[in-house]
Amino acid sequence: MTVTQTLESPVKKPTFQGVSGRRKFTDITATVLVTASLLIALVPLIWVLYTVISRGIGAISTGTWFTNSLSGLTASSSGGGVYHAIIGTLLQGLVCAIISIPLGLFVAIYLVEYAGKSKLGRITTFMVDILSGVPSIVAALFIYALWISTFGLPKSAFAVSLALVLLMVPVVVRSTEEMLRIVPQDLREASYALGVPKWKTISSIVLPTALPGVITGIMLALARVLGETAPLLILVGYAPFINFDIFGGEMGSLPSLMVSETANPTQAGTDRIWGAALTLILIIAVLNIFAKFIGRFSAVKSK
């Protein structure tokens, strides 16, 4: 065979049909498994939503549900509303958020921007991990021992908020920490190269870039603590009337209303339980939608 014939003869290219076939099969199998997992996960979610909506829509559709309290009503009386419980839930959540959000943000900023591999940073991370696994009843008992037994202060909604702080702070720290870590390091280095101080780089560049994710994490943490029941049962009594004093007296809330109505065997009590559950879901949904809008409008616009 001459050199010319060798150059002109077609070169046999290796075929990857077998590998391509296996890859296609693996891709199709993974797609089917992921889709099936999604559908399986959606089944209980849709079931829960359908059950709560179908059983609670009758209660919240009454004209007095969002404007009246249950003050003066007997166990078998129909009507009334959960205005007092909504006020109590929002007050406790607001006080908890006022304390938890700055504390969680500052801890997360320290861990990402300043701690590095320092001993204090490792200890802080370890303590946050431990706190994130504390059950709500343990947090309530701790506040009871500190706030009521040690300091001698009365049961109150503020004590409930302190217990909720212990549950909300680690979630805020973890979510904020992850959002800050995904901010490109190039943005920080470019700011430092321009002579911008570190604190101003964090406040003007890092935080605005991560703000949508940070807000989402805060709303998820707040949604988690709004439905907690153990701190309410231990640290404050249930009241069927409106109480705006968070430092004294009994106060109603949606979870405590549901627990209270479980002792009511009448149909009115059952309707109030499902109506309060649906109301709590609606409040959390509204908060999340509001957070989405804030995150969208506060996101850094790229030109």
Please state, in angstroms and rounded to a whole number, the distance separating the CA atoms of residues 180 and 182: 6
Q: Which of 61-70, 232-241, 291-300 is predicted with the least confidence, judged by mean pLDDT?
A: 291-300
Confidence of residue 7 (pLDDT cuts 50, 70, 90): very low
- For every residue of the chain, which 3-state class applies, written as one string? CCHHHHHHCCCCCCCCHHHHHHHHHHHHHHHHHHHHHHHHHHHHHHHHHHHHHHHHHHHHCCCCCCCCCCCCCCCCCCCCCCHHHHHHHHHHHHHHHHHHHHHHHHHHHHHHHHHCCCHHHHHHHHHHHHHHCCCHHHHHHHHHHHHHHHCCCCCCHHHHHHHHHHHHHHHHHHHHHHHHHCCCHHHHHHHHHCCCCHHHHHHHHHHHHHHHHHHHHHHHHHHHHHCCCHHHHHHCCCCCCCCCCCCCCCCCCHHHHHHHHCCCCCHHHHHHHHHHHHHHHHHHHHHHHHHHHHHHHHCCCCC
CB contact at 8 A, 84 and 252: yes
What is the per-residue pLDDT for 139?
94
Which residue segments constitute the domains of the chain, with CATH numbers given? 83-298 (1.10.3720.10)
Confidence of residue 105 (pLDDT cuts 50, 70, 90): very high
Could you tell me the end-to-end alpha-carbon distance of the chain, in angstroms, rounded to an integer?
64
For residue 199, give the amino acid letter: W
Residue 17 backbone dihedrals phi, psi, to 5 degrees: -65, -40
pLDDT digits (tens, 9 = 90+) for 252-291: 999 999 998 888 888 888 999 999 999 999 998 888 888 8
Residue 12 backbone dihedrals phi, psi, to 5 degrees: -80, 120
Residue 172 in this model has a pLDDT that exceeds 80? yes
What is the per-residue pLDDT for 299?
62
- Higher-confidence residue of 39 and 14: namely 39
Residue 16 in this model has a pLDDT that exceeds 50? no
Residue 56 in this model has a pLDDT that exceeds 50? yes
pLDDT digits (tens, 9 = 90+) for 66-100: 888 888 777 777 778 899 999 999 999 999 999 99
What is the per-residue pLDDT for 3?
46
What is the per-residue pLDDT for 11?
53
Q: Which of 15-29, 68-82, 173-187, 258-272 is predicted with the least confidence, judged by mean pLDDT?
A: 15-29
| Residue 263, helix vs strand vs coil | coil
Residue 187 token pair? 């943005």
282-303: average pLDDT: 76
Per-residue CA distances from 241 to 161, 178, 185, 235 (Å): 19, 42, 53, 18
Q: Which of 107-116, 127-136, 163-172, 289-298 is predicted with the least confidence, judged by mean pLDDT?
A: 289-298
Closest among 223, 221, 228 to 105, alpha carbons compared: 221
Residues of the chain with pLDDT > 90: what percent? Answer: 54
What is the per-residue pLDDT for 254?
92
pLDDT digits (tens, 9 = 90+) for 111-145: 999 988 899 999 999 999 999 889 999 999 999 99
Confidence of residue 19 (pLDDT cuts 50, 70, 90): low
